[in-house]
Amino acid sequence: MWYATCLEKRTRIVNLPGPKSAVHHISQHACQRVAPVVAGAVRPWTDNRRMPHAVSQLRADRLTHSVKPFLARRGSRSPRCAGCRLLPSHCLCGLRPMVPTRAGMCLLMADIEPLKPSNTGWLIADMVADTYAFGWARTEVDPALLALLADPQWQPYVVFPGEYAAPERVVHAVQPDAAAPARRPLFILLDGTWSEARKMFGKSPYLAGLPVLSLEPDRASAYRLRRSRRNDHFCTSEVAALCLALAGETVAAETLNAYLDVFTYHYLQARNQQPVDPDSPAHQRLREAAETSAALA
Ligand SMILES: [Zn+2]
């Protein structure tokens, strides 16, 4: 549904004691932060820049606990790259953007969302260093999620249409907290179908006290991999890009949208058994975004 890099120089996976045998993803950049993710099998990336990120960890965990195998509708029997979920012939891993962001992303993912090859939360985790991902359940909440929401370094926003929230909770801009201006925005994205997202929003008491960031995009969604009856239903990475733009991180926002374009292009070329053109308009857009980012670095 509509609503979801380190720049990590190095990452590593460690096992720490805690509920659900939590595996913690430790980012080793500026200040060592612990990004809690749920346990899961770790598979090697096809490049050495980063170890599996939060969404890939959540996917692995979901697969580990599946009673029956998840079968994507098309091409489920073909081997997939562990780094990008695409066919090896259409691998995207060498194109992962490297853009620093001050903002963080917290994905609450509906049950099978991490398993869908078209899920774009994965792209967010590829690019935004501080991306956290949790499976959502009505009857329980991961203590690591509660700890994240209580972490004073973050200023959390639930990203959701304001018409579904009490008016006093709704904001349309990302403003520094006057009492704590160093707090960084943490965008909570509800990643699932529209009905799943509404359920997550309404049945998660730990979100009830947080401001609701209601987006007012001025364009239609460009996402082409899932049909939606409404063109104002954005995919998760488009929502994340809108949030980054509101936070003033326009280069990161443009880069994430360009990366989505490239992902969509690779995905559809693979589906149509067509080769990838490295000079496609999508690739050019991503290169231009990378050049802009490099020029500002
Ligand atoms: Zn790949």
Output the CA 65–ligand 1 centroid distance in Å. 24
More confident position, 45 or 164: 164
Residue from 88, 16, 83 nearest 50 by CA: 83
Q: What is the pLDDT of residue 224?
A: 67
- Determine which of 8-22, 203-217, 241-255 has the lowest per-residue pLDDT on average: 8-22
- Distance between Cα 87 and ligand 1 center (Å): 8
At 222-274, the pLDDT tens digits run 666 765 555 557 899 999 999 999 999 999 999 999 999 999 999 999 999 99
126: CB partners within 8 A, 6+ apart: 5, 53, 84, 96, 97, 259
Does residue 282 carry a pLDDT above 90? yes
**CB neighbours of 159 closer than 8 A, spacing ≥ 6?**
3, 187, 188, 189, 190, 212, 213, 215, 239, 243
Asked whether the predicted pLDDT for residue 40 surpasses 80, the reply is: no
Q: How far is the CA of 46 from the centre of ligand 1 (A)?
A: 6
Average pLDDT value over all residues in the chain:
80
Candidates 186, 197, 114; CA nearest to 161 is 197
The amino acid sitting at 245 is A
More confident: 140 or 220: 140
Token pair of 213, please?
Answer: 């960031």
Cα–Cα distance for residue pair 63/70, rounded to 1 Å: 8
Q: How far is the CA of 145 from the centre of ligand 1 (A)?
A: 29
**Is the per-residue pLDDT at 192 higher than 60?**
yes
| Separation of CA 33 and ligand 1 centre (Å) | 26
Task: Look up residue 199 and give its DSSP letter.
Answer: H
Q: Which residue bears the tokens 């996917």?
A: 59
Taking a C-beta distance cutoff of 8 angstroms, is the pair 244, 256 a contact?
yes
pTM: 0.79
Six-digit token string for 273: 């058994």
Distance 81 CA to ligand 1 centre (A): 5
Residues whose CB falls within 8 Å of the CB of residue 210, separated by 6 or more in sequence, listed in order = 149, 156, 157, 158, 169, 188
Residue 180 CA, ligand 1 centroid: distance in Å: 40
Per-residue model confidence (pLDDT) at position 211: 97
Q: Does 47 score more than 80 pLDDT?
A: no
Interatomic CA distance for residues 286 and 34, integer angstroms: 30
Amino acid making up residue 201: F
CA distances from 165 to 1, 160, 297 (A): 18, 8, 39
| pLDDT the model gives residue 78 | 78
Residue predicted with more confidence, 189 or 225: 189
Sequence ranges of the domains in the chain: 32-67+80-296
Return d(Cα 116, Cα 75) in angstroms, integer. 12
- What percent of the chain is modeled with pLDDT above 90? 60
**Centroid of ligand 1 to alpha carbon of 38 (angstroms):** 22
Residue 98 above 90 pLDDT?
A: no
- pLDDT tens figures, 124-146: 999 999 999 999 999 999 999 99
Cα of 123 vs centre of ligand 1, distance in Å, is 12
Which burial class, exposed, middle or buried, applies to 13 when counting CB atoms under 10 A from its CB (0-12, 13-18, 19+)? middle
Residue 11 has pLDDT above 90, yes or no: no
Residue in 7, 37, 35, 3 with CA at minimum distance from that of residue 21: 37
* Cα angle: 229, vertex 230, 232; to 5 degrees: 155
Mean pLDDT over 47-57 rounds to: 70
Find tokens 């991306």 and name the residue. Answer: 131
Among 63-72, 113-122, 174-183, 273-282, name the one with the lowest average pLDDT: 63-72
Cα 214 to middle of ligand 1, angstroms: 34
Cβ contact 121:190 at 8 Å: no
Q: Does 21 score more than 90 pLDDT? A: no
In three-state secondary structure terms, 15 is strand
User: With bands split at pLDDT 50, 70 and 90, how would you rate the model's confidence at 72?
Assistant: low
pLDDT above 50 for 65: yes
